[in-house]
Amino acid sequence: MNPTTQIKNSLISRIEDSEDLNYLKALQTIFDTSEQALYQLSQEQQDSIEKGRRYKAR
C-alpha cells in the first residue's frame, strides 16, 4: 500500500472513531479552507503573468 493510501485510511479511521466535536470541526475547517483559493489575482496581474510567460517562451 502506498503512503498516500495509508494516510488516507488512517485519517478515515480516526475520523470515524472520533466523538470529539471540536476535533471534527477543526478538520472540517482545514478541509474547507484548503479547497479555497489562497490568493486571488486581479485580472491585471493575470495578464502580466501570461505576458511574461509568452515572452519567456520565445
Query: Which tens digit of pLDDT belongs to each residue from 1-58?
Result: 899 999 999 999 999 999 999 999 999 998 888 766 667 889 999 999 999 988 877 7
How far from 40 is each of 17, 18, 45, CA to CA, in Å?
A: 37, 35, 10
Match 489575482 to its residue by C-alpha cell: 41
Domain, as residue range, for 28: 3-56
pLDDT of residue 37: 61
Torsion-angle region of 39 (φ positive above 0: left; ψ -120 to 50: alpha; else: beta): beta
For residues 18 and 24, the answer to whether their CB atoms sit within 8 Å is yes
Q: Shortest CA distance to 12 belongs to which of 22, 29, 4?
A: 4
pLDDT of residue 25: 95
Q: How many domains in the chain?
A: 1
Cell representation of residue 28: 472540517
pLDDT of residue 18: 96
